A and B are shown apart, each in its own frame.
Chain A
């Protein structure tokens, strides 16, 4: 259970948003929308614990994430604007050495799943933007964390990629996972579980 308690964000002396309070239960996803510069990425970074809120706090299962520390980070998978791949490592190595133990079979399966099966031994710097997003998605899925935080996961993806993302999200939520994401595109098949937060309003 993810809880945002009265969050406010200030960036270079401008108030981006305030009084953002919300409760997200297992099996639910939150879609954050708003015009450019409304603070969507800032909110996502706050939920990760990368940025300190100007006011308020983020809590996981009732405990502030600052208190939980590594225990919270172990339950978190983050896909940022930049995926965090190493260009000099291959796609498979990027998944294998992402910092958590995964079986070699699982890496192959994850690459197949996101449509990068034939590119496993390709250095990540040769991947296209859409392929990089797909590889990022594979990493998030391999992490097996209950909370997914995805910043614009659909950017650069083709229609198949969007459907794949929606499918993986639906699967994750059906398993009792949670997700917070930003996008303005439609996610097919997620209407029942997708909640909205409009930062521009």
Chain B
């Protein structure tokens, strides 16, 4: 049951490559615009680099959120998911995992390439990648709650952004903070540990909250 949902999600992502590539393309475009807009001064670029990459990652994730449940709701597949004889939170977790694998993970893996444009050195690239590997699933998990809450509302997209951005603030702060701390020689351990702790909390609680929100949205 769980495995089937996972395979179905991956197959659907494979069949609709546009949906998967859109956040990644958006991420690369936004990230590349920063150096163009700010100018080519190396010191400035190095200092804004981590923040710019993280902001691009947050915005790209936001772009993919509404589709997580809306596409299924439209054709009635979400009702069938709710009627599955398996814990809904687990099914939600599987859907978020599939979404992360197809959109969050590529984003994290593309980030070092983007960061090269800001002149970050290799150690900082590693910290950035580690932060994004911890941070992007967190963004997807938190986003799923908001996507479920705003499902089927008129103007749900705008509301979704308003709801989710405050939740994204700590992720953004600790994620870009990790690279800055590493660059200043403090070590990124504290920031990355906090991100990991938030991820653990989100893995445990976000699917439950999302499942509850879905049941309310479809009532």
Contacts and interface: CB of A to CB of B under 8 A. Distances in A.
For chain B, the bracket of interface size reads 20 to 34
B123 interface: no
A103 interface: no
Main secondary structure of the interface of B (DSSP, over half): helix
B98 to A, nearest CB: 13
Interface in A151-173: none
A84 B77 contact: yes
Given A50-B219, A73-B85, A88-B12, A99 B5 contact: yes
B16 A88 contact: yes
B48 interface: no
A84 B80 contact: yes
A89 B8 CA distance: 9
Contact of B4 (A48, A70, A88, A97): A97
Contacts of B55: none
Q: How many interface residues does chain A have, given as a range?
A: 20 to 34
Contacts of B218: 50
B219 A84 contact: no
Interface in B1-19: 1, 4-5, 7-8, 11-12, 15-16
A100 interface: yes
B39 interface: no
A86 B84 contact: no
Interface of A: 48-52, 70-71, 73-74, 76, 78, 80-89, 93, 97-101
Interface of B: 1, 4-5, 7-8, 11-12, 15-16, 74-87, 218-219
